[in-house]
Structure 1
Amino acid sequence: MSQRPIVAFAVCWGIGYAIAVIVRLSWMNLWLAMAAGMLYCAAMIMRPKGTVWLRSLLIVAAAAGVYGDHDARNRSLVELQTDEVSGVHFQGRIVTPVSVDGDRVSFQAEAESVAIPEHAAPGNGGKGERMQFSIRLLAQEEQETARRWERGDRIELDGTLRRPAEARNFGGFDYRNYLRLQHIHWQMTAKGTAGLTVTPPEAGEWGGWLAMRSIDRFRDRLAGQVDQLFPPDQSGFMKGMLIGLTDEIEPQQFERFSRLGLTHIIAISGLNVAIFLACLIWLLRRFGLTRETVLLTALALMPLYIAVTGASPSIVRAGLMAMIGLYAAYRNRLKDGLHIALIAGVGMLVWNPYYLLDVSFQLSFLVTLGLILGVPQMNKLLPVKHAKLRDALSITIVAQLISFPLSIYYFNQFSLLSFAANFALVPAFSAWVMPGGTTAMLLGFLWGTGAGWLGWLIAKTNALLFYVVEQTSKLDAFQTIWPSPSPVWILAYYGLLCAALVLLQPFAAKDESAAPEPMLYGTKTNKLPFLNRQTMNRYVLLPASLLGFAGLLWYGYDPERGTAEGRVQFLDVGQGDSILIQTLPGGHTILVDGGGTVSFRKPGDAWKERRDPYEVGRKLLVPLLKKRGVQQIDELILTHQDADHFGGLQAVLEHIPVRRFLFNGTLKPLPAVEKLFQTALEKGTELVEVEAGDTLQVDAGTALHFLYPLPEGEREGVRMEQDQNPSSVVFLMEMAGTRWLFTGDIGQAEERKLLDRWSAVSRGFAQGEALAPAAREPALSAGAGAQVSVVYKPVDVLKVAHHGSKSSTAEDWLNAWQPKHAVISAGANNIYGHPNRQVLERLTSHGISAQRTDRDGEVQMTVRGGKIYTRTKLRP
């Protein structure tokens, strides 16, 4: 601590915050921080011997107290027992830029007063409560009205107050916690602009709003320049790269960069700051200013640059480091990059402790620290003589190694081409596209023609680079999927990485003229040459660290390898079905349906479409599957082709390899269905039609017996069918001694047909008759006889058909199967009234315990030792 006090303080401060995040004890508060601070000051004044560890612990305690106090104060002034209240009157002020996206307007506002009908007034009248607003526009003309709203405007409206939605699936995105980390606990929603009033600040209220509004307007003007200079398919990307406006980046374009690990190109960070400072300093020197004046002017303009580019954690970190560095250069003092980074980091954490949980902050600081510490060491290890090439290789290698754990933790994917893509493409973007784009954007205010020429050159470069990114991102064989690792795994990764890097230093390139060092001889003080430190490092510690590192990666790629559990996970995908099955003992992955987003757009409603509309497969299902480490789907079963069952599967096929696609042998005449099957064929997925009588032996302990749809003579190809519910695939799964019945969206008529069919089959076999098996795909076995023995036995779990609709789950159906448990997949607050009250009463009368995704969120059932254990996300 005495040699590197800033480093020691920053490490201890971070540890203290981490402890407070994990433990969350009530006595971790401001009093603890003050007591630890006073004791630390006393220890520094008295300086008794052996107090280094004591002082370190006091810093940890002070940091834990600061974080705990900050978190404890993050409480809402609006205390309600319900999650939603209508008719709430809000008066306040808009405090963020206003975003208009299709028929949605979003912003944040701080309340001056909140009036809630039939409820007591909030504490302090609600004054100071920050809320997230979402206004649904009713007419296209209202878009222009909303675009005129600015930060600082007073707003008054009546709307609905809602508590933000929490994660409804294990490991899913938690919007409630996301807003809480911004000190927001409520959402306000309203329809149309006619019932609200928005007015600019009055004469005596401007304060800092004038500066903020000026910054927003200047940013909008810069965005307008980018729109004029670059084609539509590039302007969103360039806005993100140059001024931090990421809302308009095309989703497919962002996804391509993400698959190659190149999204940091779009994020405003240290590279942007470096280019800004280089151009600014060069310009100021042209005016003949002194070195001190140049440095102070650059220092004074950095906050403006941070504000104009969006003030994300990464740009704040880079800006603070630049400001500290400029001041240090002005005073000819602190020049240690590590100290500068740590001072900026601790300063940000003191200002807002929640930065610690921000992925942008984590990646930005870890990669920065890794580059400062690791690049010099990596340079010594690389046998490359060309200095610039060696530096580029070292920077890319170190950045990849440092960012890898956080990348797979948050994004669950890593491309084996990421290193090559970063090494080849980042220099092109950073050395030409970024500075050239900045120059063209600013030049447009002075010389539009020249800016247009420069923009044209950059656009041509972008077109080439985008083409390379697009083609490279299509190479699915190089994409790997990783489950989110535990914090212990991440710490072990960094520990072994550091150990290996240190132990490799003796292998660094040395001067060839120097005498070779003996490998097996000890020092003068070591009488046992085979036990000297060099030998231990080379032959024991280094191999152990490298093997440990490789083993850690092997385990992290598939931590569930060899598990003795089977899992059936009824995902909450809203008003739809999606069931993830991991079999026992083979660990095969089966996905039944994929949910979907149903759109009710009318002709003329194109203006309502958002730039990146919500799609359940891309936004929810695929991220969940990746987070759980689903690297391949062995069997994808589409029960039928209604949008709430197949819609999310398009994204699944595009992002995750699928071996076999099982469906009901029909096609619904929809372009989306045609695209789905075409994608499956392009990806090399085997298409298999199933019907009653088919059996699929998944592994030694798991079999799927298909009970419906009923065969209709010899198959003569796939037939078109508009009404899909009556043709839903129904199958019985036997896994490790448990029985599960999956029913799609069949109705009571289909339930009756299925029961009659298998009753007839059972009678036929009892009389010695035989049924001729139909021609089957090689993957399936045919013939009803294989299933008669398993059909009429009670099942452990019934997936209730058609989301609990009253048209399904008849008394005879329950009597035939006698399930112990039932699961209903339905959307919360759905407009169809699912599940139906009669169906729930019917289940209760049969003594069947029912879990519902609309009420319970995701329902997870684990098979262990022949028993089923259940947990739900919202009702533990």
Structure 2
Amino acid sequence: MNPRLAVLSALFALTGVWLSKMISVTGIVLITFLVIVIIFQLKRKTIVVLMFLPLFFLYTQWYELKNTSLFPLHTTNFQGTIETIPKINGKMISFQYKTSGEFLVVRYKMNSAAEKHTLEKLKISMHCFLNGTLKEPEPQSHYYGMNYREYLHNKNIHWILEPSQVDAGSCVTDKKESLISRIKIWRSKSIKQLEADFSQNTAGLMNALVFGYREKIETETLESYQKLGLTHLLAVSGFNVGIISYFLYLFFVRLGIVKELAYVLIVIFLPIYIVLTGGESSIVRAGIMGMLALCFIVFRKKINPAVLLSFVCITMLSWNPLYAFDLGFQLSFLMTFVLITSISLFKTKSNTQLLIITSFMCSLFSFPIILYHFFEFSLWSLPINILYIPFVSLVLFPVSFFVFGVIHLFPSAIYLLKFPVQFLFESSASILKIAQKFNGTLLLGRPSLWLFLFYFLAILYLFYEWERNDRLYLRFCIPFMFIILLQACIPYLNPSAKVSFINVGQGDSVLIELPFRKAVYLIDTGGAIPFEKEKWEERYEEYDVTKKAVLPYLKGRGIRKIDGLILSHADMDHAGGTVFLLNNFPVETIYLPKNNNLSELEAEIIESGKQKGIHMKYLRKGMQWGIGNSRFIVLHPSEKNTSSNNRSVVLWVKLYDTSFLLTGDIEKEAEHEIINNFSQLKADVLKVAHHGSGTSTTEQFLELAAPEFAVISSGRNNIYGHPAKDVITRLKEKKVTIYRTDKNGDIIFEAAKRGLKITTVQ
């Protein structure tokens, strides 16, 4: 088949899938390639290829009609097998569970150390009887966070099962295990053996390279790989398939097996290897391509790599069209397509030049996708890739396989290997941790869809000119650099102001962006309220809402500096993430309520701010400032020495014709004080005090402020019962439109001369 027609077929198939799910990043990528290819390559035969678009459009529609649960919500009894390695984190155990009808995600909260010790014996492929309740996966609640419900839906998973009890005695190993089950069990045992023999980080990295299992890599190490653009080195893909196939071929030939039979044996082994490495889309793509390529060699047939790649793409989409929305699928196919269609650039190049060129190409083509998902790009990515690709490929990967093989054949050898192997892996991780601390990050935020399109057009232009001239000139990069500059400048050209109420669960965090981004203020950081835990309850990574919600929101918006961090008061749910934020994001000034009796957290924040040279300002009633048409007035606290909640900073903010009243955690005593001091107070938007607690938002305070909209920041199903029913009743009686972070997720008020626009995630 003509390679151009094959590529067009795959692109039309992908476009059909995308159109069936409406707009997405994948769709923009595909449309970009589609337009370019059609403009330059359209032939009469393309009419036949065009049929792939409506065919896959209809097929995806039909697939989605079937992609629903077989279980009614009231189903309580289940039987099935454990399909993934049970993950234990603190008191929570979770795994995928395969019933006769579909897959479920099981989440169970353990009650004691003894029960945890018992459930640690659960293994993959065990058959279990479970009784519990079904819950829908939580919908997306952050603009710049993961959509977990969609992620599970694309894997044909629709429910989370919360068992009333998980009894290890009711889980038994199936004596009639299938070959796939036996492979999975062996994989699980091997992963746990490495975890038992080596430190967490060393075992995590080795398991990632050998088995594609990254769960136990230390968070700091994994973040270093992500920030430096090295995550692909921890993903099992085409390189791994090539190395494994090469060594198997050498082994079979040394045994005296003829080449053709050696190829057949490798083809038989590759499906096993796909299961061994977790079966992610990248390894499935590489494995199928490897098997087909070897089959063509055996039958002495030739096939163009682009045709092979296109065929594999269509085959995988035929199996599950929702593969198209998997990041691993997108990057795997895009990078492979780029490399096989740029062979002319590799001619007469040395190994070092090849490494530099391929690293540059992959970094450049992945740039828009990485930017969309992670909002920033490390400028160290290219040089670090040039150094680390050969290091991981020629050192860490072979060492991992060698060590794994040796300790299986000679278990006592672990005593000789443990120290040098751990030193090698820990040292490599430490070097990356140091490297990523150097300021080399290009933070641009999530590009809009039209910018995303222009990025790929600029990249395609660069490579088209490079290939046409057989040399890379700086002028070819000008359109690409212009798009980067344009994205960096757009916020400073936007006349609208934005007030974002970030969903931080049971806490507060409000982001204010002034028109033309003349200043950025963050009011509170969110934070977890600490509870005492026993040793067995401690998680190996505690959830940090500032790290998981606030920081991604700042980066997703393309914000590179906070001009003012305003802490309403020093409770953990408002200021608990401050020190983390100061260590990971530039802050110019910290604003605190005037307080003579500093809490431990306040003292820590002030000390951390001083060490970083951050200006400290203390707010009290009557202070005000303005920038352009924006005004800030401090209504509270006064000089009175009251409770922590009643010392909260209360801000009245005017942005164009829209006013916001941000009340921290004040209670009725502070509200009465504000009523007495500011009798003419009015606000269009009220941030309801103390998460909607019944101790605040009195009738008199609502009469004075007369808000049109109210925002309540509270956690889903929180233990405090926030917001209180009487507060909701009072707001409804005043005909105030209520928005809640526990129900609406992130909430954005966009104020402009033309009026107010409100958007929410849900």
Q: Deviations over 1:690-742 (max 9, x none)?
A: 22232232x21212212222247xxxxxxxx9952122111111221322111
Cα deviation for residue 862 of structure 1 reads 1.5
Separation in 2 of the partners of 1:312 and 1:701?
Answer: 52
Matched, 1:175 2:143: no
- Which position in structure 2 is the counterpart of 1:403? 366
Cα deviation for residue 675 of structure 1 reads 5.3
- Which position in structure 2 is the counterpart of 1:655? 584
- Which position in structure 1 is the counterpart of 2:86? 98
- Describe the SS at the equivalent of 2:720: coil
Cα deviation for residue 327 of structure 1 reads 1.8
- Which position in structure 2 is the counterpart of 1:738? 658
Separation in 2 of the partners of 1:305 and 1:812?
Answer: 69
Q: Deviations over 1:650-672 (max 9, x none)?
A: 44334332222212244987776
- Describe the SS at the equivalent of 1:15: helix
One-letter code of the match for 2:89? D
Q: Tell me which of 495, 498, 505 is aligned to 2:457.
A: 495
- Which position in structure 2 is the counterpart of 1:788? none
- Which position in structure 1 is the counterpart of 2:667? 747
One-letter code of the match for 1:177? E
Q: Deviations over 1:414-451 (max 9, x none)?
A: 11111111112221121111111211111111234556
Gaps of 5+ in 2: 25-41
Separation in 2 of the partners of 1:294 and 1:421?
Answer: 37
Separation in 2 of the partners of 1:166 and 1:22?
Answer: 18
Separation in 2 of the partners of 1:221 and 1:693?
Answer: 66
Alignment of 1:70-89 (within 5 A): 70-79=63-72, 88-89=76-77
Q: Deviations over 1:798-849 (max 9, x none)?
A: 2111011111122332333333322221122222121122222333344433
CA contact (8 A) 1:669 1:722 kept: no
Q: Are residues 852 and 232 of structure 1, via their aligned partners in 2, closer, same or farther at CA, if it must alter by over 3 Å?
A: closer
- Describe the SS at the equivalent of 1:444: helix
- Which position in structure 2 is the counterpart of 1:859? 747
Matched, 1:841 2:761: no
Q: Are residues 649 and 361 of structure 1, via their aligned partners in 2, closer, same or farther at CA, if it must alter by over 3 Å?
A: farther
How many percent identity over aligned positions?
Answer: 28
- Which position in structure 2 is the counterpart of 1:523? none
Separation in 2 of the partners of 1:685 and 1:747?
Answer: 31
Q: What's the TM-score once normalised by structure 2's chain length?
A: 0.91
CA contact (8 A) 1:635 1:661 kept: yes
**Comparing both chains, which one has the higher relative contact order based on Cα–Cα distances under 8 Å and sequence gaps of 6 or more?**
2
CA contact (8 A) 2:121 2:168 kept: no
Q: Are residues 259 and 612 of structure 1, via their aligned partners in 2, closer, same or farther at CA, if it must alter by over 3 Å?
A: same
- Describe the SS at the equivalent of 1:22: coil
CA contact (8 A) 1:142 1:192 kept: no
Q: More deviation in 488-497 or 589-598?
A: 488-497
Q: Tell me which of 356, 373, 384 is aligned to 2:324.
A: 356
Separation in 2 of the partners of 1:195 and 1:271?
Answer: 40
Q: More deviation in 305-314 or 576-585?
A: 576-585
Separation in 1 of the partners of 2:246 and 2:414?
Answer: 20
One-letter code of the match for 2:629? G
- Describe the SS at the equivalent of 1:493: helix
Matched, 1:631 2:624: no
Q: Tell me which of 529, 532, 537 is aligned to 1:601.
A: 532
CA contact (8 A) 1:142 1:193 kept: no
- Describe the SS at the equivalent of 1:159: strand
Separation in 1 of the partners of 2:23 and 2:594?
Answer: 54
Q: Are residues 371 and 187 of structure 1, via their aligned partners in 2, closer, same or farther at CA, if it must alter by over 3 Å?
A: same
- Describe the SS at the equivalent of 1:296: helix
Gaps of 5+ in 1: 25-48, 113-127, 511-537, 713-720, 760-790
Separation in 1 of the partners of 2:754 and 2:589?
Answer: 28
- Describe the SS at the equivalent of 2:588: strand
Q: Are residues 552 and 817 of structure 1, via their aligned partners in 2, closer, same or farther at CA, if it must alter by over 3 Å?
A: same
Q: Are residues 747 and 6 of structure 1, via their aligned partners in 2, closer, same or farther at CA, if it must alter by over 3 Å?
A: same
CA contact (8 A) 1:726 1:746 kept: yes
Q: Deviations over 1:721-769 (max 9, x none)?
A: 995212211111122132211111011112233444x36xxxxxxxxxx
Q: Tell me which of 677, 688, 702 is aligned to 2:630.
A: 702
Matched, 1:437 2:405: no
CA contact (8 A) 2:502 2:741 kept: yes
CA contact (8 A) 1:341 1:369 kept: yes
Q: Are residues 408 and 457 of structure 1, via their aligned partners in 2, closer, same or farther at CA, if it must alter by over 3 Å?
A: same
CA contact (8 A) 2:3 2:306 kept: no
Q: More deviation in 356-365 or 324-333?
A: 324-333
- Describe the SS at the equivalent of 1:560: helix
- Which position in structure 2 is the counterpart of 1:508? 470
Q: Deviations over 1:775-798 (max 9, x none)?
A: xxxxxxxxxxxxxxxx73422222
Separation in 1 of the partners of 2:471 and 2:443?
Answer: 36
Q: What's the TM-score once normalised by structure 1's chain length?
A: 0.79
Cα deviation for residue 237 of structure 1 reads 2.1
CA contact (8 A) 2:131 2:164 kept: no
Q: Deviations over 1:49-83 (max 9, x none)?
A: 98524212212221222222112211222455xxx
- Which position in structure 2 is the counterpart of 1:63? 56
Instruction: Provide the aligned length of Structure 1 versus Structure 2.
Output: 745
Separation in 2 of the partners of 1:465 and 1:601?
Answer: 35
- Which position in structure 2 is the counterpart of 1:418? 381
- Which position in structure 1 is the counterpart of 2:47? 54
Q: Tell me which of 188, 199, 212 is aligned to 2:180.
A: 212
Cα deviation for residue 559 of structure 1 reads 3.7
CA contact (8 A) 2:570 2:599 kept: no
CA contact (8 A) 2:5 2:49 kept: no
Cα deviation for residue 368 of structure 1 reads 1.5
Q: Are residues 191 and 326 of structure 1, via their aligned partners in 2, closer, same or farther at CA, if it must alter by over 3 Å?
A: same
- Decide which structure has the larger Cα Rg and report it: 1
Q: Are residues 683 and 333 of structure 1, via their aligned partners in 2, closer, same or farther at CA, if it must alter by over 3 Å?
A: farther
One-letter code of the match for 1:869? K
CA contact (8 A) 2:500 2:512 kept: yes
Q: Are residues 491 and 576 of structure 1, via their aligned partners in 2, closer, same or farther at CA, if it must alter by over 3 Å?
A: same
Separation in 2 of the partners of 1:841 and 1:828?
Answer: 19
Q: Deviations over 1:582-636 (max 9, x none)?
A: 112544222111222234333xx22122333322122222223322222222211
- Which position in structure 1 is the counterpart of 2:488? 557
- Which position in structure 2 is the counterpart of 1:331? 299
Q: Are residues 467 and 666 of structure 1, via their aligned partners in 2, closer, same or farther at CA, if it must alter by over 3 Å?
A: farther
Q: Deviations over 1:536-589 (max 9, x none)?
A: xx9xxx96x654333222223354331121111212221111112111254422
- Which position in structure 2 is the counterpart of 1:15? 15
Q: Deviations over 1:94-147 (max 9, x none)?
A: 3433333322221222445xxxxxxxxxxxxxxx14321111111222234333
Cα deviation for residue 235 of structure 1 reads 1.9
CA contact (8 A) 1:482 1:556 kept: yes
CA contact (8 A) 2:378 2:440 kept: yes
- Which position in structure 2 is the counterpart of 1:822? 710
CA contact (8 A) 1:313 1:361 kept: yes
CA contact (8 A) 1:483 1:558 kept: no
Cα deviation for residue 356 of structure 1 reads 0.5
Q: Are residues 449 and 195 of structure 1, via their aligned partners in 2, closer, same or farther at CA, if it must alter by over 3 Å?
A: closer
Q: Are residues 670 and 839 of structure 1, via their aligned partners in 2, closer, same or farther at CA, if it must alter by over 3 Å?
A: same
- Which position in structure 2 is the counterpart of 1:798? 686
- Which position in structure 1 is the counterpart of 2:272? 304
- Describe the SS at the equivalent of 1:445: helix
Separation in 2 of the partners of 1:583 and 1:64?
Answer: 43
CA contact (8 A) 1:137 1:191 kept: no
- Which position in structure 2 is the counterpart of 1:190? 163
CA contact (8 A) 1:237 1:266 kept: yes
One-letter code of the match for 1:443? V
Separation in 2 of the partners of 1:677 and 1:422?
Answer: 39
Matched, 1:371 2:339: yes
CA contact (8 A) 1:745 1:803 kept: yes
Separation in 1 of the partners of 2:127 and 2:427?
Answer: 47
- Describe the SS at the equivalent of 2:217: coil
RMSD between superposed Cα atoms in Å: 2.9
